[in-house]
Amino acid sequence: MDLKGKVAVVTGAGSGIGYAIAQRFAAAGAAVAINYFGYENEARALAERMNSQGGRALAVKADVAKAGEVAAMVEQTTRELGGCHVLVNNAGVEKAMPLLDVTEEEWDKEVSINLKGAFLCLQAAGRAMRDSGQGGSIVNISSIHEDFPFPLHGPYCASKGGLRMLMRNAALELAPYQIRVNNVAPGAVATPINTGTLNDPAKMQRLSEIIPVGRMAKPEEVADVALFLASDSASYVTGSTYYVDGGMVRYAEPL
């Protein structure tokens, strides 16, 4: 699989899964716009390293929950890198909190970034792909929690469930423009967002019990699936969610 001649925007690419995806895409030949809001130093260093190694990369600061900043990011990417053929909606946040204690502010924050932000980026990149006449691929980094309940994470689950249906609708509406839309749904992944879990031996032990393959994923394992969906190898693939969870959503115990 390669992305030679493609330009990709990866949101939330200063750390974790987004960082790994940006690296994979660059290694596959893509020019990459590395979006960040936090992790600025990491995003800029990654772009500089890609450029020094003969690739083409751009670090772009944008709050994905703000339409004007998203539009400017896509416009800058198109102008400086020569197009927008792939979008990876990766930016996301989560916070553990009992449902009855969730504040309006926290609800708005998670839904705005995880769902509204994905919509705004999909819309802006989708317009660029449509207008180019070349089509493209949109990959949303969702979660197993678009289907699988996650107590104490009500806003997160609601936003990811919404992202599932946004993907399905978008796949149908954008297909006439040769734009494919799919979700990647990671389970437990060793990234900064899971630092608390990674530092808790009891939680790590329990994860090893409920994940059939017995371990957390590496960010690169999620990036490999995103690369497939972004590439022409997935030219007939649209409208689906691809689980990268070691079988976690299928976990069951005999009675």
Residue of 36, 156, 242, 243 marked catalytic: 156
Inform me whether the pLDDT recorded for 232 exceeds 90. Answer: yes
Inform me whether the pLDDT recorded for 197 exceeds 90. Answer: no
**pLDDT tens per residue, range 21-32:** 999 999 999 999
What per-residue confidence (pLDDT) applies to 162? 98
At 255, the pLDDT band (50, 70, 90 cuts) reads confident
**pLDDT tens per residue, range 54-109:** 999 999 999 999 999 999 999 999 999 999 999 999 999 999 999 999 999 999 99
Q: What percent of the chain has pLDDT over 70?
A: 100
* Low-confidence winner among 111-115, 152-156, 249-253 (lowest mean pLDDT): 249-253
H/E element, 242: strand 241-244
Q: What percent of the chain has pLDDT over 90?
A: 95
Strand intervals (E) in the chain: 7-10, 31-36, 57-61, 86-89, 136-141, 179-186, 241-244
What per-residue confidence (pLDDT) applies to 149? 96
Could you confirm whether 156 is annotated as catalytic?
yes
Inform me whether the pLDDT recorded for 196 exceeds 90. Answer: no
- Average pLDDT value over all residues in the chain: 97
Q: Is 182 helix (H, G, I), strand (E, B) or coil?
A: strand
What per-residue confidence (pLDDT) applies to 194? 83
Inform me whether the pLDDT recorded for 193 exceeds 90. Answer: no
Inform me whether the pLDDT recorded for 214 exceeds 90. Answer: yes
Q: What CA–CA distance (Å, rounded) separates 193 from 93?
A: 8
Alpha-carbon distances, residue 45 vs 41, 48, 253 (angstroms): 6, 5, 46
Q: For 220-243, what is the mean pLDDT?
A: 98
CATH numbers and ranges of domains, the chain: 7-247 (3.40.50.720)
Q: What CA–CA distance (Å, rounded) separates 22 from 152?
A: 31
Q: Could you give phi then psi for residue 176, rounded to 5 degrees?
A: -60, -20
**pLDDT tens per residue, range 122-173:** 999 999 999 999 999 999 999 999 999 999 999 999 999 999 999 999 999 9
